[in-house]
Structure 1
Amino acid sequence: MTRLVVPELEPRDPARAEPLLPGEVQLWYADLDSVPGDEGILSAAESARAERVVDADAKARFVRSRTLVRRLLGAWLGLPAGEIALESTGEGKPRVVAPPHAIDFNLSHTGSAWALAASISFHVGVDLERIRPRRPDHDVARRIFTSAECAWLADLPEARRTPAFFTIWTIREAVTKLRGEGIFTLSASFEVVPQTDGRLEARVEPPEELVVDTIPAPVGHVGALAVSASPRAIRAFRVRPDAEA
């Protein structure tokens, strides 16, 4: 399967994001504890959802996440960020209802780590996971992973097992988010296969154009990006802490 090459991250203000170009994917990263939020550009539904969040840190991160989404979409669509109509899917992810557009985007965040992938040419799915300092849940693995994936994990030295578990998880999660499925429903025809050089490769039977690979992630995290076909290029950005609120 084709590898995804993610270049060095460029610091950028999302309100001044470059246009989405045909054949490309943009990948954005942020630390939600280091960027501003603007509840004034959120919709009434988003503000109400934020008010229901009891934990102060989680509430602030939700507001900052939606602010980033709206700033990026506003730059790409040429509209004020507060005028974009968003709704949440059944999985709680935002999508644009209006205006008409060709943007497919997907986001992920865990704690303060945040990533968003977008394209006008492909469907995309992105996932970030924090590597939790505990042994992998083998019951969960048996329910989600293939027998070959479980056997490979079991054979790894214990120190490598937990990072490998979360790496497989993120690869599978990125694919299910691209397809709009749940991680428990991903067919056994999809499998993550270890290579002799130590990297992991995803295989799909029957073969399709889908491309999925690990991506850079903050320290203590792993990440994966899935694209419905091989992109001409990936452009990667890091939200500047002094970005416009």
Structure 2
Amino acid sequence: MTDFDDTWLPKPENLTLLSDEVHVWRIHLDRPESELQDLAATLSSDELTRANRFYFPEHRRRFIAGRGILRSILGNYLGVVAQEVKFDYEPRGKPLLASSFAQSGLLFNLSHSENLALCAVNYSRQIGIDLEYLRTTSDLEGLAQRFFLPREYDLVRSLPDEQKSKVFFRYWTCKEAYLKATGDGIAQLEKIEVALTPTEPARLQIFPDWHLLELVPDNNCVAAVAVAGFGWQLKCWQY
């Protein structure tokens, strides 16, 4: 697993994404009000409508920050201003670049939890990322039994209480990252086999053409990125 302290680098002045690179951006969603106003000005009308549907102001502000910064990041790669970035949506709601940007080959995936978001970007490879804050979960063993394979459930159940939550969410993020990359839903969680231990990094079983990498974007959360194929290099940026 990666140590976030020496991995997340400041945003470079001249950003270049090579064909053999995967970039992951760490985004703090609690931004100053003045910045939020600037970010909101880049959103489309449907995004603003979505933002205004949130009951809690905190959730609305974080949505504006996440979507506005996503537009800024993608605009840098595409060579356009943030408000010119256009999205289409898959049936499950996953955003992807509109067909007008298809020639770029740019693919991305976004995940957020609490006040943090991660955005993974690359050219041409299917990619998925998932992020979860470590938190107390009622009936954690029951959830593991429902969504995990028997050997995964057995590992979670066998651990001391202080280790259960982290291993549970490591399993969850690894499975979810792969499913987000392929576009499959959460109902497939129990079909994705992940091999890991409390001290060893995770590996995807059965899917030899995929690479899975765990990330540690903050002290109290876990994350994973799944990328089709091998021979790529990871760079992590702080927005």
Partner of 1:229: 229
Structure 2: state its 5+ residue gaps: none
How big is the shift at 1:99? 2.7
Counterpart Cα distance in 2 of 1:112 and 1:133: 17
Partner of 1:129: 132
Counterpart Cα distance in 2 of 1:166 and 1:186: 13
Partner of 2:79: 78
State whether residues 31 and 114 of structure 1, in contact with CA within 8 Å, keep that contact through their aligned partners in structure 2.
Answer: yes
Identical amino acids, percent of aligned pairs: 27
**Structure having the larger proportion of residues in helix:** 2
Please report the TM-score for the alignment, with normalisation by the length of structure 1. 0.86
Counterpart Cα distance in 2 of 1:159 and 1:135: 14
Partner of 2:92: 91
CA separation of 1:220/1:96 partners in 2, compared to 1, >3 Å: closer, same or farther? Answer: same
Counterpart check, 1:24 vs 2:21: yes
How big is the shift at 1:143? 2.0
Counterpart of 1:87, as a letter, is: D
Q: Which of 173, 191, 194 lines up with 1:192 in the alignment?
A: 194
Partner of 1:243: none
Counterpart check, 1:107 vs 2:107: no
How big is the shift at 1:17? 6.2
Structure 1: state its 5+ residue gaps: 240-245
Counterpart Cα distance in 1 of 2:2 and 2:30: 28
CA RMSD of aligned residues (A): 2.2
State whether residues 123 and 178 of structure 1, in contact with CA within 8 Å, keep that contact through their aligned partners in structure 2.
Answer: yes
Deviation per residue, 1:146-195 (Å, 9 max, x gap) = 0000011111111101111111101111010011111221463x322235
CA separation of 1:138/1:187 partners in 2, compared to 1, >3 Å: closer, same or farther? Answer: closer
State whether residues 117 and 131 of structure 2, in contact with CA within 8 Å, keep that contact through their aligned partners in structure 1.
Answer: yes
State whether residues 215 and 223 of structure 2, in contact with CA within 8 Å, keep that contact through their aligned partners in structure 1.
Answer: yes
State whether residues 148 and 190 of structure 2, in contact with CA within 8 Å, keep that contact through their aligned partners in structure 1.
Answer: no
Deviation per residue, 1:213-235 (Å, 9 max, x gap) = 21122121111111111243111
